[in-house]
Amino acid sequence: MIAAFLLPFPLRGYRAPYLWVYYRLLSSFGERMLFIASEDYTREPEHWRGQNRWEMQAGNADRLHYRIPAREDMAAHEYGFLSEAVYETLLAESGGNPIAAFRRLLSERVPCLDAAFTEIFSQTSAQEIEAILTWCNCPSLSWAAAEKGIPVAHLEVGPLRWPQYRPTAYFDFSGVNGNTEAGRRYLESGLRPAAGLGIEALRRFFYQAGDGETPAARLNLGVVLQVEDDSNLLAFGHGFDNQSLLVYAHLHHPDGNVLVRGHPGSLFALKPDWYQVDDSPDSVAFVRRCDRMLTINSSVGLEAMLMGKPVEVLGDCAHRFIAEAGDEPERVARLAFYLFAYLVPMDLIYDSGYLRFRLGQPSEYEIALRHLAAYGVDVGPLRQASGSLSCVLELAGLSDAPI
């Protein structure tokens, strides 16, 4: 049995924050699961319609490939609920500050959570649980799972998203966004720089929208802001937030030739100051307007890397090891590994067969083949390769010379 931990508490102001993920798993996974969550998730969909939740809109359901479940769909699964008492304890121990409570959940073991997860696993036969899926880092969950010998797979929507890109996702046994295995896996992969491998070939494979025209007026630096309660900022920003990022940019670029892009989900509006405020229709157009990029750990940084722009990453994130490459060939090699072996085609993270494939600890070569097949590449000829990730990339047409 596969279990899924869905953030149970309204630490960002609304209940059942991963409601759409719950619905997608009910729609796609195709087998009985254990959901570790709050009872909010099992409310009748009519309750959420009455609150005008975005998950109830047909367009979003179609875009994210889920169905609004019936009661019998939810009843077909097992549940381990975290109670309101656990939430109230966590909140009280965090001074009543929900954002501080969220940060603690993401970055440290919390006694009340330790106890709650231990109780759930004692009531469910831990031997039946093959793995736990989670959409956020939760040290208490990881500790309780490790006590029972259960692997934890950290999942999340990836940095490249539809409609501009082939949709991707994160899949990581160490962490998501922060504390990831991306850099370590690259070093262990044996993939090394090659003259025949270029960023443009990688970008062509993933980018699906028209290129458009690069604006004539260019700015030296693009600064990317993020949602203020984003888990990346709270737990993995190395102390930076949007305000300190702007101060950092101002001190390093006092000439003001800076373009700042606010996040579409932010509650706050930017005001023009020493910088210009970006009004681009999307992040792709924004990146085109700038010569280089500064971010804490936004996925826009990865988009800039795909356009060959220098990127400074101040926080922790899965693609930081790419920005830290010593030269261009090494940067391209790291980017190639990240795109084809680390990032996962979006639909695969809701596929029980893929999860069990990864639990079998396949090689990077086998992982890349599985991903390319999901992207629609004929991998038959690639299976005749020498069994290395380098050969996969070469034979897939991404390299003009042997690696």
| Residue among 67, 12, 69, 2 nearest 41 (CA) | 69
Helix (H, G, I), strand (E, B) or coil at 340: helix
Between the alpha carbon of residue 57 and those of residues 53, 66, 148, the distances in Å are 8, 11, 39
Q: For 150-241, where are the alpha helices, taking DSSP H only?
A: 182-189, 199-206, 231-236
- Residues with Cβ within 8 Å of 197's Cβ and at least 6 positions away in sequence, in order, are 329, 332, 333, 336, 393, 398, 399, 401, 403
Q: What letters, b where the CB count within 10 A reaches 16 and e where it falls short, cover 241-262?
A: bbeebbebbeeebeeeebbbbb
Between the alpha carbon of residue 79 and those of residues 15, 39, 44, 69, 353, the distances in Å are 17, 9, 16, 16, 22
Separation CA 31–CA 111 (nearest Å): 32
The confidence score (pLDDT) of residue 190 equals 83
Separation CA 167–CA 107 (nearest Å): 28
What's the pLDDT tens digit per position in 117-161? 999 999 877 678 999 999 999 999 999 999 999 999 999 999 999
Q: For 207-299, where are the alpha helices, taking DSSP H only?
A: 231-236, 242-252, 283-288
Q: Would you call the peptide bond into 163 cis, given omega within 30 degrees of 0 as the criterion?
A: yes
Domains and CATH numbers, the chain: 2-150 (no CATH), 195-340 (3.40.50)
Q: Which long-range contacts (CB under 8 A, 24 or more apart) does 170-173 make?
A: 170/318, 170/343, 170/344, 171/344, 171/348, 171/349, 171/358, 172/318, 172/342, 173/358
Answer whether 18's CB lies under 8 Å from 53's CB. no
- pTM, entire model: 0.93
The confidence score (pLDDT) of residue 216 equals 53
Query: Which ranges of the chain have pLDDT less than 70?
Result: 126, 193-196, 211-217, 381-382, 384-403
